[in-house]
Structure 1
Amino acid sequence: MSVGQGKALRAHQHKMNRKQDISDRRGRELQERVEQRRKARQLRKPVSKSP
């Protein structure tokens, strides 16, 4: 394996890691939004039941 190949491979891995990190962050934000929506729904339920 030449030095050039190693550098390219490292750059590729770095790019893939960053892409993974971005998708992880997006997934986490989605998860938080879903949990907030669930909490809001739970809070709203008793209110709608009461007159």
Structure 2
Amino acid sequence: MATTDPEETPGGPARKALWFVGLWIAGFAVVVGGAYALKLIMGMVVGL
């Protein structure tokens, strides 16, 4: 973790890029999921 040398890290830059993409997708999923949940809750409140 202390070094950014591709030789030291298994996978090198490709692995770092994959981790970054995975993190971005996870963040996007959280935002979309939160918005959907809020919409669902608002729909229930209006329905009641």
The structure carrying a bigger helix percent of its residues is 1
The whole-number CA distance in structure 2 between the counterparts of 1:6 and 1:25 is 29
TM-score (norm 1): 0.68
Kindly indicate whether residue 29 of structure 2 is the aligned counterpart of residue 26 of structure 1.
Answer: no
TM-score (norm 2): 0.71
When the two structures are aligned, how many residues end up with a matched partner? 41
Percentage of identical aligned residues: 10
Uncovered stretches (5+) of structure 1, i.e. residues with no partner: 43-51
SS in 2 for 1:19: helix
Q: Highest CA radius of gyration, 1 or 2?
A: 1
CA RMSD in angstroms, aligned pairs only? 1.7
Uncovered stretches (5+) of structure 2, i.e. residues with no partner: none
* Aligned equivalent of 1:47: none
Structure number with greater CO (CA < 8 Å, separation at least 6) is 2
Kindly indicate whether residue 6 of structure 2 is the aligned counterpart of residue 3 of structure 1.
Answer: yes
